[in-house]
Structure formats: C-alpha cells, structure tokens
Amino acid sequence: MSQHAPQEPQSQASGGTAEESARPLLEVTDLVKSFPLQKGLFSRRETLVKAVDGISLYIQPGETLGLVGESGCGKSTAGKSILRLIEPTSGSIRFEGSEITGLSRTEMRRYRQRMQIIFQDPYSSLNPRMTAEAIVGEPFVINGTSRGRERQQRVASLFERVGLRPDTMGKYPHEFSGGQRQRIGIARALASMPGLIICDEPVSALDVSIQAQVINLLMDLQAEYRMSYLFIAHDLAVVEHISDRIAVMYLGRIVELTDKRTLFTNPLHPYTEALLSAVPIPDPAAGRERRIILRGDVPSPIDPPPGCHFSTRCPEATGVCRVETPVLTERFGGHQVACHLR
C-alpha cells in the first residue's frame, strides 16, 4: 500500500483486547423515529407516524447485517436515524462503546469520521457542481487530514481502489455512468476510513451486471479494511450474498433476526416465509413447496393495527395477535422472532 493510500484506523490496527474485540461496534436499543403530521384546521390532537417503532440490533466489527423489508417499512429511516442524519425520537445508539444519541453537532464530528453512508441514488447524492476529485476529497478538507498535492494523491489512490481511473478525477458527476457514480460515492465514504458504513440500497438503481460488480467491490473493501456494513435492501438475493446476519422489518418493527443460512432454510415468522416464497427460482421446473399470497395491503403507518402489525395480513393470526404486541424473543441459537405463534 502506498504512503498516500487510506490508512487503517489505529483502533483496529492495534488489535485491542479480547473484551474490545467481542464488544459490538454498533448497539441500537429501542430506537424510535416518529414524524408529526401537520394538524388540520380543527384538529386538537397531534398525529404521529412511527416510521421506526422500537427496533433493537447490533453489529460486530467486520460484520454485515442485512436489513430487508417492503418499501416504506422504515429501513432507510432507521439507517439515517442511526447516523443521526435525522434525529431519533427516542432510544439508545452506542457506537464503539459510546452513547451518541445525546451528543451535540460538535461532539458528533469525531464519530462522523467513523460512520459513513452510501446512498441509493448515485446521481442525486453527488454535487453536480463539484468535480469527482473535489467530491471524494471533501472528507479530507472537512477533517483537515491532508491538503494540496497530498490530498490529490490520496484521492487518486481511492479512485484506483474502487476501480476508477485517476485521469477521470477532473470530470463532473453527469460525465460518469451510474455504476461509476456509485463507485465515487463508495470512494467518498471510504476516504475517512470508517468503522461502519450504512449502505442504503446502494445497488437498486443499477443494472444487474453492475450490481454484481459493486457488491463484489464492497465485499473486497470489507475484507481489506475490516469495516462493518448495515446493508439495507429489498432484494433478498443480494442480501443473502453479502450479509452475515439478516433482520426482517415490517411496518417499523423488526420481526425476525438471525444468520442468513438459518433465515433461508428455517424462517419462523409468517412474513419472512411470504417474502422467501416470492423470490424467483433459477429453475422453474424444480418448483417450490408453496407460494404464499398475502391478502390486503400494508397498513398505513399513520394508523397501524393494534397488537402485531402483521396480523391484518397473516394467514395464521389469532385473537391474541390482534391485541398484544409480540416481543422480539430468542428462540434458539440466536434466532430471534416476534410472533405469538412461533
């Protein structure tokens, strides 16, 4: 590695104690994010939309946690709340052992170097008035870590690392393809050598062939720098390929969380079963056990059903499901599910 390439953070390079290595990099407990709706002219009561309704999760150093669910279930809101790009309503967020939910903007600055995000749309997330070199080099400017010729060389090193030619650094975002723009976004996230990157559907806007290249790049970077990912997506095939564990989210709540092999071979929650039954199979002649068709639409987060949020669509729902909220509980071997019947 050249002297201008991004360097390993000292906290990782030094190895750390056994206790430090066993401690989760990220711990989220009972995270809630509510958005108030504008009151009507004659309304006296404020209406809240719980986009994220009390989720808890953790991510170990070097691990990828996949977060899946239907559009509108709160996945992206959860990711942005964890980074405090939007302020959570309540709950606890601990990063590298430190509570960050109550920190000021100034206090958060040192953590933002270690927590980055890759956005879904590789075009709208890049400033069209800045060159690619300026976009990728911006973290160096903000953090004051390098300047002038040194910064240019570090940006060139990052371009090479993500598969871009350094001689394109002077171009603007509109001069790159969608896949190339996403690589610029990855290089920008990588510049500060973060411990955690939240990948907010980073390949959903790309062609299938480009998706595979970007996913493989993310996996290579993770192996090289031992970063952790929270990988948000709705494509189960992509999530299965890159994740170590997977959390399934429905209407603001996590309903199942386990390692990817267990999730795909032994799903417990009825919603997870329905999601997996909808995944296309390469050989239609092989068939599948059954295709689960869910009735009705996803309830509105403005007025979610009482009890289990999935009870209005669940083929197995009973009376208790409609009145009592199930708690995410470990059943065996770290396999957690929020269901009264499983």
**What integer best gives the mean pLDDT of the chain?**
87
Higher pLDDT, 3 or 184: 184
Residue 322 has pLDDT above 50, yes or no: yes
∠ CA 15-215-249, rounded to 5°: 85
Q: Which residue has the tokens 């510049």?
A: 191
Average pLDDT over every residue of 276-298: 72
The whole-number pLDDT of residue 35 equals 92
Ordered domains of the chain (ranges, CATH): 1-6+24-36+47-243 (3.40.50.300), 266-342 (no CATH)
- Amino acid letter, residue 327: V
**Cα atoms in the 13 Å half-sphere on the side-chain side of 334:** 12
Q: Which residue has the tokens 């691990």?
A: 63
Q: How many CB atoms lie within 10 A of CB 160?
A: 14
Residue 135 has pLDDT above 70, yes or no: yes
**Residue pLDDT, tens place only, 208-261:** 888 999 999 999 999 999 999 999 998 888 999 999 999 999 999 999 999 999
Residue 329 has pLDDT above 50, yes or no: yes
Average pLDDT over every residue of 47-58: 92
The whole-number pLDDT of residue 162 equals 94
**Residue pLDDT, tens place only, 114-124:** 999 999 888 88
Report the interhelical angle of 178-190 vs 148-161 (nearest 10°): 130
Residue 1 has pLDDT above 60, yes or no: no
The whole-number pLDDT of residue 121 equals 87
The whole-number pLDDT of residue 9 equals 39
With cut-offs at 50, 70 and 90, classify the pLDDT of residue 4: very low
Output the 3-class SS for the chain: CCCCCCCCCHHHHCCCCHHHHHCCCEEEEEEEEEEECCCCCCCCCCCEEEEEEEEEEEECCCCEEEEECCCCCCHHHHHHHHCCCCCCCEEEEEECCEECCCCCHHHHHHHHCCEEEECCCCCCCCCCCCCHHHHHHHHHHHHCCCCHHHHHHHHHHHHHHCCCCHHHCCCCHHHCCHHHHHHHHHHHHHCCCCCEEEEECCCCCCCHHHHHHHHHHHHHHHHHHCCEEEEEECCHHHHHHHCCEEEEEECCEEEEEEEHHHHHHCCCCHHHHHHHHCCCCCCHHHCCCCCCCCCCCCCCCCCCCCCCCCCCCCCCCCCHHHCCCCCCEEEECCEEECCCCC
With cut-offs at 50, 70 and 90, classify the pLDDT of residue 288: low
Phi then psi dihedrals of residue 325, to 5 deg = -75, 120
The whole-number pLDDT of residue 197 equals 97
Residue 167 has pLDDT above 80, yes or no: yes
The whole-number pLDDT of residue 58 equals 96
Strand partners, 63: none
Q: What is the pTM of this model?
A: 0.87
**Residue pLDDT, tens place only, 259-280:** 999 999 999 999 999 999 877 7
End-to-end CA distance of the chain: 51
Tell me which residue of 249, 226, 172, 235 sits closest to 206, measured CA to CA.
Answer: 235
**Cα atoms in the 13 Å half-sphere on the side-chain side of 153:** 11
Least confident range of 31-35, 36-40, 302-306, 327-331? 36-40
Residue 136 has pLDDT above 60, yes or no: yes
The whole-number pLDDT of residue 312 equals 92
Q: Report the relative pairing of strands 64-68 and 245-250 from DSSP bridges.
A: parallel
